[in-house]
Amino acid sequence: MSVVLQGLQPLIGEPFIREDGNEATWELSGKLALKEDAFYEPMVTDHPILNMRYSVLCARLAHNLALIDKEADYEEQKAEELTQQLADALALAEILAFIYGYYLYVPREVKRLLDEQEAFRDLLKMRGYVFPEASKKPTLDEKQAVSFTESLKTHHRELNWPRLFSVRLRRIFVVLQPYFQDLKRYGEVFGMVDQFIAPVLNHLAYLFFIPRLAVNTFLLFKHLIPGWWLSAEEKKLSWLTRLQAQLQRRWFEMLNDTAWMIGGLLNCYVLIGALAPVGMYVSISLFFFDVILAGVKAFIELGRLNTLRNEYKDALNGEGLDPDARKEIEDYQVYLEQRFISERRQLLLSVVSTSALFLAMCFAIPALAGTPALPLVGAVLVLIITLATYLVGEWLKSIKPSYDLKGIKEDGTALFAKSPHNFFHHPRNTQDSDESAELSDVIPRPIHISKSSPNFSLQTGTSSEIPGYL
């Protein structure tokens, strides 16, 4: 296992055993199959950190494969380095697949990880790796891979922008009415159209959030209440661990949807007529709540990334680090920093846009209604900020560091085909290999890198140091 994942070595040992010079038997699958639930429980609450580490590792692997494959001369040393990166990626993919498959039950993630494992194994087989069949591994059929929850959330994201633009464009036409009092035709046409549009948008203000909130609430209680619907592995987790793991995945959406659904219900059924001005204050308060929520999310997400950044900074400051290990850590840090910058931009956009929307909405305070220009300025600013947020968000998505599994397979196959040590077929019998996987009598708990340690010294710990949102 490379120095990049050295923190996991006391838990799982070496994932493979090198034999006969070029052959290597992969043992991690068998070890993971024999681990007890106590081994996985702390990892369940730490899975956002593991997932982040894995995605950075894959982005680095994809870039290095594409870069080296373009070089004219084949160098076995570089191929060995990439082989080690593939082994690291496969090790993390197998651990995450167990967590998502047996303890969190996220079919979409399991499907993705199984596909990536298959690609990594195919490439490692070309380098002489042998993969015995494990006694237990996550499985998933195609029907399970298409999750209703994920489909619902995808539609929610896709429909949210048209909804926002519709509501905010209508508001401009509403505040323009005092300026067109002399144009009787404008008032008649707008009034006729608005009598159909206004009720739809008013009801949509709370109905839009109910499906996602209902699904998240249902899934939260589904994973908290033990029953036949839980896997045997998940039932053995403590109630607090299951709660923390689910809130990591759902807290932001649940708080956001709850607040806006309640606000929509109040403005639609309670704060009407003479109480309509109070409804405007409620709406402005919801925009301020968005600012707080975006700030908390940014703090948690960047806190996770800073945990990883500090881990590798401490490793570089350690004594006795050989040049190859130092170079490998520095290489990983480059991609980790790219991920940090990308996430920081995305989170900063959320904080800035919600803050700007809140300030623009303040122009609509009923106390300022005596100046018609202010509500109009506020409505126009809200629409402009919404459009700018959408455009910048799409641009940030387009430049976000990522990896393409197809590219990894193609570049890796082309590169390793040049190696004098590649094996497309291996005659070795891989049956009954689980006997070779020796586990310690005492199952160690997942660790955190000690920031006081100069050389990756490891400490047994709990997940309380890790912020919790995915």
Burial of 177 (0-12, 13-18, 19+ CB in 10 A): middle
Counting as low any pLDDT under 70, the low residues of the chain are: 1-2, 6-22, 69-74, 135, 139-147, 369-370, 419-470
- Crossing angle of helices 373-399 and 148-176, rounded to 10°: 150
pTM comes to 0.82
- Give the 3-state DSSP-derived string for the chain, with helices as H, strands as E and coil as C: CCHHHHHHHHHHCCCEEEECCCEEEECHHHHHHHCCHHHHHHHHHCHHHHHHHHHHHHHHHHHHHHHHHCCCCCCHHHHHHHHHHHHHHHHHHHHHHHHHHHHHCCHHHHHHHHHHHHHHHHHHHCCCEECCCCCCCCCCCHHHHCCHHHHHHHHHHHHHHHHHHHHHHHHHHHHHHHHHCCCHHHHHHHHHHHHHHHHHHHHHHHHCCHHHHHHHHHHHHHHHCCCCCCCHHHHCCCHHHHHHHHHHHHHHHHHHHHHHHHHHHHHHHHCCHHHHHHHHHHHHHHHHHHHHHHHHHHHHHHHHHHHHHHHHHHHHCCCCCCHHHHHHHHHHHHHHHHHHHHHHHHHHHHHHHHHHHHHHHHHHCHHHCCCCHHHHHHHHHHHHHHHHHHHHHHHHHHHCCCCCHHHHHHHHHHHHCCCCCCCCCCCCCCCCHHHHCCCCCCCCCCEEECCCCCCCCEEECCHHHCCCCC
17 - beta bridge partners?
25
Antiparallel, parallel or unpaired: β 23-26 and 129-130 = parallel
Which pLDDT belongs to residue 7? 63
Q: What is the pLDDT of residues 396-433, one digit of tens each?
A: 999 988 888 888 888 888 878 876 555 544 434 443 33
Determine how many CB atoms are found less than 10 A away from the CB of residue 313.
13
Which pLDDT belongs to residue 449? 32
**d(Cα 248, Cα 237) in Å, to the nearest integer?**
16
Which pLDDT belongs to residue 71? 64
**d(Cα 41, Cα 43) in Å, to the nearest integer?**
5
Which pLDDT belongs to residue 8? 66
Antiparallel, parallel or unpaired: β 16-19 and 23-26 = antiparallel
Integer angstrom CA distances of residue 291 from 193, 288, 348: 33, 5, 11
Nearest to 408 by CA among 184, 85, 108: 85
Which pLDDT belongs to residue 73? 64
**d(Cα 237, Cα 45) in Å, to the nearest integer?**
11
Q: What are phi and psi of 169, to 5 degrees?
A: -70, -40
Which pLDDT belongs to residue 12? 60
Which pLDDT belongs to residue 194? 85
- Cα 318 from chain centroid? 31
**d(Cα 242, Cα 229) in Å, to the nearest integer?**
14
Which pLDDT belongs to residue 6? 66
- Where do the domains of the chain lie? 3-145+403-444, 148-399
Determine how many CB atoms are found less than 10 A away from the CB of residue 219.
15
Instruction: Give the position of tokens 């109905």.
Output: 207
Nearest to 285 by CA among 380, 358, 335, 182: 358
